[in-house]
Amino acid sequence: MKLSPSILNADLSDLLRAVERIADLADYIHFDVMDGHFVPNLTFGPLLVNSLREKLWLPFDIHLMIDRPAFYAPYFQVRPEDVITFHVEALDHPDEAISAIRKLGCRVGISLRPRTPLFLIFPYLDQVDWVLVMCVEPGFGGQKFMPEALDRIRALKKEIGGREVLVAVDGGIGPENVRQVVEAGADVVVAGVAIFGAPDPREAALRLWKAAGHPRN
C-alpha cells in the first residue's frame, strides 16, 4: 500500500507545516482541484499547488475535478514522479486530456464517478499510469464510503491484468475499512478526513497504516 493524504481537510492557514508533519508517513500528497462546475464545490488551483511544489519533495497526486483538464493541466508545475488525474466525464475528450498531461512529463491518471460504468475507461488503460476509483460522489470530503466500490476495484484490477497501472482509491476511507480496500486491490489509498480531520493527524496516519496491515514507525 501507498498512502496519499488529501489536503482538502488540512489546516489551509498553515498548510506547509500540516503536510510536513506527516510527510514521512506519506508516499504522495493529494490535491483535490475543483472548479465549481464539474463538481458543486470550489477549492484551489495551480497557484497553491505550484507554491508547495517548490517546497516539498513528495510526489504530488493532483486530482482535477474540472470540466477542462486539457486546458488547465499545463498550468501546473510538475515533476516526472507526479501524477495528474482527470475525469472521463469531463468536457475535454480523454485523448486530448491524456495528451496534454503527458506533454508535461509527469504521469497520467484517469478517474470516474462512482456510478459511471467502469468499462468507459477500459479503452484508455494502455495510455495511463494510474486509475483513481471514487468511493464517494466527488466534490466534498467527509462522505460515507460506498461499499460497492470494492467490487469495482476488483473488476478494474482484473481488467488491468499485467499492465503497469496503479489503482488509487479515494473517498470515505479510514481505519474501519482500509484493509478491505487494500485487499480488494488498491495500490494507493487517498485519505483526507481520516488524517487531517483528526485531532492529531500524525497519530491518525499511523493508525491508518496499522489498520491496513502495514504498520509504519
Residues carrying an active site annotation: 32, 170
Report the alpha-carbon distance of residue 138 to residue 170 in Å, rounded: 9
CA distances from 29 to 96, 187, 195 (A): 25, 15, 12
Nearest residue to 194 (alpha-carbon basis) of 142, 133, 132: 142
Contact 119, 46 (CB under 8 A): no
- DSSP-assigned beta bridge partners for residue 87: 111
Contact 138, 115 (CB under 8 A): no
DSSP 86-139: EETTSSS-HHHHHHHHHTTTSEEEEEE-TTS-GGGGGGGTTT-SEEEEESS-TT
DSSP 65: E
DSSP helix/strand/coil, 144: coil
